Structure 1
Amino acid sequence: MLSRTIPFFLAIISPAACWDPLGHQTVGFLAQKYFTTQANETISSLIGLNSEFDIGDAAAWADTVRDKDGLPWSKNWHFINPKGDDPATNTCKLSYPSDCPGANNDNCIISQILNQTSIVLNFSLPLPERRQSTMFLLHFFGDLHQPMHTSGYKYGGNLVRPVCWGRQPPCTEYINDTVPYERNLHATWDSAIPRKLRGLEPRTGVEETKRAAIAWAEDLWRDERDARGSRDQDADQDFEVDVYGARTIIGYAEESNRLVCSSALSKGVEWVLSNDLSLGYYEENKEVVKAQVTKAGRRLAGWMNVLAAELGRMQGMEKESKGNNNNNNKWGDL
């Protein structure tokens, strides 16, 4: 396997993320609340979490290395573009692996969740590579639950533009009154809806964004606890977690893809392009975003809990094997 890693200290100080870190950090902080003790210790050890680089930073990291100075070949790992998507005919359908490009159908988010998992499980690989893969996993579960990351329609909604947010058509905005800027539907789901949900301005500082993510994760955790009452507060198990197969991740991706038709573009593209999405559209979809962030956090925890347990099992087998070999050879020098 070709190792394509970058030094960890360089990754941390890379330029700001291409996409809003609020959702990713919230997913990371929420997942941490559902981690088993074993998973928490394993992930902390693999990544080297500390007060200067916490689970929120790790979950947002992958967006900071997508440019030419980081890991540009990882850019396509953040999404999948199903070829058959056509919301105009209410058709949202994902077919894996055929919808995943690359010589080995490995250049999309589904394949890379599986690939990065296999790297983490491989004790023979260098720690920096396994550390990097762990952080990719923390990030990709957030992307997988953002519906536009699982849509092939106009490149995940990036070409559904210009859309209006906080203004009536025409929707083209201007930076410094001179530079035209066209907001797209993908960014609306990535950033605008989550930020309005939490009462944040379109652009906030790093620390303010992180505080908002910590608070959002706490609110989602409390909502889930209250909704479940005395029921078990374990991580989401509505899909059986199989870290060695694609079935679990395909299920998550298909569910997210269906939301493109049922929510993101349920009123059609023309309607989306001719209305202020910060009004009725936001009200109709804010609970969808909230639910998806919650699922992403719970399911990430479920995946990492199983992954950590499997790592523990493998380590136990290795120790047992070494012990047996020592016992078999204890008379060898006599």
Structure 2
Amino acid sequence: MWSQIAVFGLLPFAIPTVYGWGATGHQAVGYVAMQFLSPKALSFVQSSLGTTYNRSLGPAATWADDVKSQTAYKWSSVLHYVDAEDDPPYSCSVSESRDCGDGKCILTAIANYTSRVVDTSLSATQRQEALKFLDHFIGDIGQPLHVEALEVGGNDIDVKCSGSTSNLHSVWDSGLVNKLVSSNYGNSVTTWANALVSRLNSGTYRSSAASWISCASTTSTVKRSLEEDITGYLDRRAITPLRCPLTWAADTNTFDCSHVFEYSSGQDLCTSSYYTNAVPVIETQIAKQGYRLAAWLNVLFDGSTNLP
């Protein structure tokens, strides 16, 4: 197992500020995942998180953002993203060797905390921390600007959102999401999560959900199941990169070419067609990552994805 301190404890502190999906998006990922956990995974989540997080991945999902500005956790800031050195909106791609050559990015972080969360030689506190990092990072990897290097993942691109000056990264983290939840779901993250779960169980996502957890190689058409990906990694029959997180990152990155950077100068991204077109992307990505998070934990603790 990797040592958290040895691998990630000596990172440089000159790190750009990024915030994932924001509290609402991350909580929604956690709440979606909770409804698909199988028995042993659910038991571990509830007992590990305890009353501090209401025994739920929803409230725990923001922890990694909450602590990364603290001195003790500054090393973790670079683990929230992978800087895809591509050329959106013309060409989009993710390569672990190219974009995470120093081994310090979200792809390697997911691998590290996957091993730590099931390592019974660690303390309950350490395993809880690993769970909270997985909860958060599997959410982050679904945010298009967390798999993009251009202009510091959009942080250096000034845009408008509902009449206010913001930056592109922040708009995707929070601006678009918060407007969506306020306008369509009574400003309730649980109402939103329940609606996404309904689509996964019997609605518009039902037919495609299985493909969200099937991981194709980035260099061939050969598929590897999520179970094979995790088992191979933990048994050391395969080395990193874990194929599923890399596949998910590449899937997310496609939106940097198809939508994220496609807007007009001066356009208000939260009150125009840009917002309308972003809504289905955001909702699908949140549903995907909640479903994937559940599948990941189910394999770790129950040996199978156990998803409908």
Q: Same fold (TM over 0.5)?
A: yes
Residue 167 of structure 2 is matched in structure 1 by 184
* 1:89-100 mapped onto 2 (5 Å cutoff): 90-100=90-100
State how far apart, in whole Å, the 2-side matches of 1:196 and 1:230 are.
26
Shift of 1:225: 2.3
Residue 9 of structure 2 is matched in structure 1 by none
Task: Judge conservation of contact 2:161–2:269 (CA < 8 Å) in 1.
Answer: yes
Task: Judge conservation of contact 1:58–1:135 (CA < 8 Å) in 2.
Answer: yes
> Given the superposition, is the C-alpha separation of residues 26 and 196 from structure 1 closer, same or farther in structure 2, using an over 3 Å criterion?
same
Residue 159 of structure 1 is matched in structure 2 by 156
Structure 2 unmatched runs, 5+: 6-17, 216-224, 234-239
Runs of 4+ in 1 over 6 A off after TM superposition: 228-235
State how far apart, in whole Å, the 1-side matches of 2:162 and 2:206 are.
42
Task: Judge conservation of contact 2:34–2:56 (CA < 8 Å) in 1.
Answer: no
User: TM (normalized to structure 2)?
Assistant: 0.79
> Given the superposition, is the C-alpha separation of residues 236 and 18 from structure 1 closer, same or farther in structure 2, using an over 3 Å criterion?
closer
Corresponding pairs, count = 269
* 1:23-42 mapped onto 2 (5 Å cutoff): 23-42=25-44
> Given the superposition, is the C-alpha separation of residues 196 and 231 from structure 1 closer, same or farther in structure 2, using an over 3 Å criterion?
closer
Task: Judge conservation of contact 2:45–2:55 (CA < 8 Å) in 1.
Answer: no
Task: Judge conservation of contact 2:38–2:302 (CA < 8 Å) in 1.
Answer: no
Residue 146 of structure 1 is matched in structure 2 by 143
> Given the superposition, is the C-alpha separation of residues 51 and 123 from structure 1 closer, same or farther in structure 2, using an over 3 Å criterion?
closer
Shift of 1:310: 4.7
> Given the superposition, is the C-alpha separation of residues 196 and 34 from structure 1 closer, same or farther in structure 2, using an over 3 Å criterion?
same
State how far apart, in whole Å, the 1-side matches of 2:207 and 2:261 are.
35
State how far apart, in whole Å, the 1-side matches of 2:79 and 2:181 are.
28
* 1:231-242 mapped onto 2 (5 Å cutoff): 236-239=212-215, 240-241=225-226, 242=229
State how far apart, in whole Å, the 2-side matches of 1:218 and 1:97 are.
38
Task: Judge conservation of contact 1:29–1:214 (CA < 8 Å) in 2.
Answer: yes
Shift of 1:115: 0.5
Shift of 1:49: 4.9
Alignment of 1:292 onto 2:285: yes
Task: Judge conservation of contact 1:235–1:302 (CA < 8 Å) in 2.
Answer: no
Counterpart amino acid of residue 175 in structure 2: A
State how far apart, in whole Å, the 1-side matches of 2:277 and 2:151 are.
22
Residue 192 of structure 2 is matched in structure 1 by 216
> Given the superposition, is the C-alpha separation of residues 215 and 229 from structure 1 closer, same or farther in structure 2, using an over 3 Å criterion?
closer
* 1:249-268 mapped onto 2 (5 Å cutoff): 249-267=245-263
Task: Judge conservation of contact 1:235–1:298 (CA < 8 Å) in 2.
Answer: no
What whole-Å deviation, never above 9, does each CA across 1:24-59 have from its counterpart, x for those lacking one? 001001001011112101222233356746321211
State how far apart, in whole Å, the 2-side matches of 1:160 and 1:100 are.
23
Report the structure number with the largest CA radius of gyration: 1
- Which deviates the most, 48-57 or 38-47? 48-57
What's the Cα RMSD here? 2.9
Task: Judge conservation of contact 1:3–1:129 (CA < 8 Å) in 2.
Answer: no
Counterpart amino acid of residue 96 in structure 1: E
- Which deviates the most, 183-192 or 42-51? 42-51
Shift of 1:60: 1.3
